Structure 1
Amino acid sequence: MRVYRWSNAVSLALVLALTGCNAPSPGAAASGVAGDSTSTDAADPGAIDQPYEDVPPATAPPGSAMPGQGAATDSLAHWDGFGEAQFGMDDEQVKLVWPGELVGTPADHSQCYHLSPAGQSDISRFAMMFEDGTFVRYSVSADDLVAPGGGKRGMDTARIDALYPGRVTSSGHKYVPDGHYLRITEDGGPHVLIFETDGGGNVTEWRVGLPPQVDYVEGCS
């Protein structure tokens, strides 16, 4: 009987070939899962329990949360409206796009009234003005809402001037001694932003809207 003797080189080549057949795939190595496609998370305690593909975040159902109680509140205030509520809409259209309940009714024989999110203890926190059935202005006294361009309650006059350079027109406040109205017209548009300050020059509230309603200093008058 003839005996075959394998050279060391041949033996080494055979071992490497067999090892390559059992090597895990690059994708399996990256995910920490063994190359055997029959393995499961239960059989492999080191396997991750998260999906390998990106899963879009769940969308919360509409609620009655007031503006400012969520992320990206600085993106809600616009020159032409607030969120999806745009100036020129009637109250029914605004209620359809608003993510919660709005309350408020016009007074007898009045063409001007406000709608506010249900649950507010103070209407001045956020209110939308309607005149002749049309959304024309919104007013804010909340600390966590940011006006178009970056201004907000608590800022001083110097900060407002820096945010809106060359665009601020100042006039004396009708009721607050040494207070002011800081009026800013939209660049290339008809809308107006007004900050009210106290006697120390700090913003106490602001509003955005269309003239002449945005210049009303006593709400609907």
Structure 2
Amino acid sequence: MNSKAKLLSLGIVTVALSSLTVGTVIAQTKLTNQSKFFINGVGQVRVGMTVSQAAKAAGTKLIGDSPNNNCYYVKPEWEPKNLGFMVTEGRISRVDVWRDGKITTLKGAKIGDTEARIKSLYPGQIKVTPHEYVEGGHYLTFIPKDQSDQNYRVIFETDGKRVTQFRSGKLPEVEFVEGCS
């Protein structure tokens, strides 16, 4: 093969790989049940985004309560189910995973995990406090060590044995026991 044919061949391979990479990146930006949950967001959605920015990052329409309120929730139009975004002052301030949500944290924590598992995933970083409404239940609050994350928390709610829901976001909203109520 002459050098011109080699260059042409390499150029085609590069274009094909670039297209594949772009397609993969686009596919990964859509919010799904496999999206990872972390201290200041989920998938590509971050605390601090406007609802419009979050919808674009999620790759789906976000629907919900009237934006005329100081605090309201939006959620993906279709999937993932049982995922909500608290909006305060026009920006995403918290992310909630309810009931049988399949989304996990970066370390794999999920609904149904035992309190012991949560403590083992985040050794020395979980503060345990009594649940406000569930007798015997707890709030397991992940407190980050990183100085840049000090204004964020992840809170796992339990029935005293297992995680029933969890949320992350900025202080003080992440600590609102009753959401926007």
TM-score by length of 2: 0.77
Q: Does 1:83 align with 2:43?
A: yes
Q: Which runs of 4+ in 1 moved over 6 A?
A: none
Select the structure that is richer in helix.
2
Which residue of 2 is the match for residue 168 of structure 1?
A: 126
- State how far apart, in whole Å, the 2-side matches of 1:97 and 1:88 are: 12
1:156 aligns with 114
Instruction: Give the aligned residue type for 2:140.
Output: L
Distance in 2 separating the partners of 1:198 and 1:150: 19
| Higher strand residue share | 2
Please give the alpha-carbon distance, in whole angstroms, between the structure 2 residues aligned to 1:81 and 1:121: 14
TM-score by length of 1: 0.64
Q: Write out aligned runs for 1:169-188 (5 A).
A: 169-188=127-146
CA distance 1:88–1:143, shift in 2 (3 Å): closer
CA distance in 2, matches of 1:120, 1:81: 16
Counterpart of 1:112? 71
Gaps of 5+ in 1: 1-52
Tell me: higher relative CO, structure 1 or 2? Use CA pairs within 8 A at least 6 residues apart: 2
Provide the residue aligned with 1:193 in structure 2.
154
**Count of residue pairs brought into register by the alignment:** 159
Structure possessing the higher radius of gyration over alpha carbons: 1
Residues 126-172 of structure 1: per-residue CA shift (max 9 Å, x gap): 00111010111000024421124321111111111111111111111
RMSD: 2.6
Unaligned runs of at least 5 residues, structure 2: 1-12
2:105 alignment partner, SS class: coil
Percent of paired sites with the same residue: 31
